[in-house]
Every structure is written in C-alpha cells, then in structure tokens.
Amino acid sequence: MKFRNDVVPREFPQAIALFIGALEPADHFKIGDRQFASRDVAKALYLTAGRWMKHHWGLSEGPGHANSALQVDCARRFEGICHPGDVVGLVIDLVVGSLRSEAVDMRVLIAKTKKHWSDRGLNLDGSVVGP
C-alpha cells in the first residue's frame, strides 16, 4: 500500500477513494483472496493501514475530540459514529466488501457499532454517558 501523505480526506467517500487509490496489485490480490474470511482481512488491515489512517488523517480520540472534518462527516452520515477506530473500521469494511463484490449493509455496521458503545455505557465518541 502506498498512501498519499499530502492529502487528508474531509469526507467519507474521499477516504474510500484514497484507500482504494493506495492499493497496489498485490494488495488487491490479498484482499480478494477467498482463502481468508472478509472479517479476518479487515482485522489485518485495521492493525496496519488503520493505524496509519488514524495517525495521518488526524482522527482524534477522547471526549470532545471528534473534530476532524472526516469524523464530523461520518457523524453526520452514520448516526453519530465518530470514534477514530469506528471511522477507520467503516472505511476498511466498505473497501474490503467492495473489492470482494460483497454487499455491505451500512445499517448493520452502524447498529453493531452503536451496540458496542451502548453495552459499555459510553457515547459514540467513547466518552462516558452523562447523568
């Protein structure tokens, strides 16, 4: 993968395009390899490319820190979801599904993400739910 260091996405579709644009032929092959489940491919990408995206795209963590343009756009598009890990996860899940010609139901991803935070008694940015 060869991410561009000179561009920071401001909107979710731009993040998808930048991720896909960073892929080299070998990456397309690895992501499309049906020997591995989509979930496993996404997890591996999260630990590598996901870290890079969080750091270089200015995705901030913590209460009141979800203020990068990309996080604001994702919160608007995806029912408040703005935690850096969730933003990166949505990008990766959509790219993996797209490259594998698999349907990705964003409603299901949004519901799972919301449940994850709700089960922990936290807001969608990871902050503690107030009184």
In this structure, which long-range contacts are made by residues 23-27, counting pairs with CB atoms below 8 Å and at least 24 apart in sequence? Answer: 23/99, 27/1
Q: How many angstroms separate the CA atoms of 87 and 130, rounded?
A: 23
Percent above pLDDT 90 for the chain? 73
pLDDT of residue 130: 75
Q: Region 54-69: what's the mean pLDDT? A: 77
Write down the pLDDT at residue 126. 83
> In this predicted model, what pLDDT tens digit does every residue of 37-46 receive, in sequence order?
998 999 999 9
Residue 128 phi/psi, 5-degree rounding, is -70, 135
pLDDT given for residue 33 in this prediction: 87
Sign of CA dihedral 108, 10, 16, 24: negative
Instruction: Please report the pLDDT score of residue 2 as a whole number.
Output: 92
